[in-house]
Structure 1
Amino acid sequence: MITAVSETSARIDAAREFNDLPVDRVSEISAALNGLLADVFALYLKTKNFRWHMSGPHFRDYHLLLDEQSVQILKLADPLAERVRKLGGTTLRSIGHIARLQSIIDSEAEDTYPQVMLSELREDNLRFESAMRRAHKMCDDSRDIATTSLLETWIDEAEGRSWFLYETRIIRRE
């Protein structure tokens, strides 16, 4: 019987065949990326949830905006998981695993106003940006150029989502 420790060690050893990152950094980077991946799923589902429950005079615009954003968010899942595997790590295995790692807070509120939903999603995207920046620093310090490159693009996309959500705010003129 192969133990989990020996499987992990064997996987990381095998990854030495296609990357030269320090073994101790591989574990740290994999953990950070798995946290981001959990947040991708949490943010995706929350964005879809708010899209499904949107109402009001700007329904169509908000509905389309959140649809675009949810598609963009979900597209991060495979590259993130595959990057972890390329490093020699293992990635998420279940919804329970996602729940243990996610930092994006779920919303089960039944009656939420559109502006509250949009504001909450903006804050979540800002938190996600911040987590990606921390992962980027870790990867940069480890000279993991491939992961830093991916993160740079995803940070830019998260900034775009946050910006669009910010611009939906209602400005009251007195």
Structure 2
Amino acid sequence: MADANANLKTPTDLNRNATKSVAEALNSSLADCFALYLKTKNFHWHVSGPHFRDYHLLLDDQSAQILGVTDAIAERVRKTGNTTLRSIGDIARHQTIADNDKPFVDPAAMLAELRDDNLKLVESFRVVKDAADEAKDNATSGIVDEWTDQAEERAWFLFEASRKA
């Protein structure tokens, strides 16, 4: 079977072997973003209780932000001459953030789970950062800082929203 990346011939001055490790880290983060997006949207649809409106709007905002990052991640993979995820099955094979298929989740448990998942995404972005720095991929190294900051902010908001008065 031929290497799919050999046919891309995307112009880049980056070393092909180095960008492959960056692409693998990016694809793992991308899968986690999709898993986190769907979980956040699921909780947005199913949240209930006295803080319904606040949580519903918070989770809608956060899911939109997460989805917005997915295109930037995939395009970064392609700019380096590599291929990215192609299907739900491909996402499932790469994701490290667990799905939540429970028919009911308490709102406090939702916020805690999403907080922890966003922090797990931060860890994933740090792996991307390390791979990018090692590959001398300055563009990926720089842009992943913004994604990390966004995930940290989401975790902080979820933490603060779940605090007892």
TM-score (norm 2): 0.96
Q: Which entry has the higher C-alpha Rg, 1 or 2? A: 1
Indicate the residue corresponding to 1:96 in structure 2. Answer: 89
Q: Which runs of 4+ in 1 moved over 6 A?
A: none
- Percent identical across equivalent pairs? 50
TM-score (norm 1): 0.91
Flag structure 2 segments of 5+ consecutive residues without an equivalent.
none
Indicate the residue corresponding to 2:23 in structure 1. Answer: 30
Flag structure 1 segments of 5+ consecutive residues without an equivalent.
none
1:10 CA drift (Å):
3.2
1:66 CA drift (Å):
0.2
The alignment's C-alpha RMSD in Å is 1.2
1:4 aligns with 2:2: yes
Counterpart pick for 1:111 among 84, 104, 116: 104
Indicate the residue corresponding to 1:42 in structure 2. Answer: 35
1:21 CA drift (Å):
1.2
1:143 CA drift (Å):
1.2
1:77 aligns with 2:65: no
Alignment: residue pair count: 165
Q: Distance in 1 between matches of 2:59 and 2:120?
A: 18
1:55 aligns with 2:78: no
Q: Distance in 1 between matches of 2:13 and 2:24?
A: 18
Q: Distance in 1 between matches of 2:51 and 2:2?
A: 51
Q: Distance in 2 between matches of 1:80 and 1:131?
A: 12
SS at 1:75 equivalent: helix
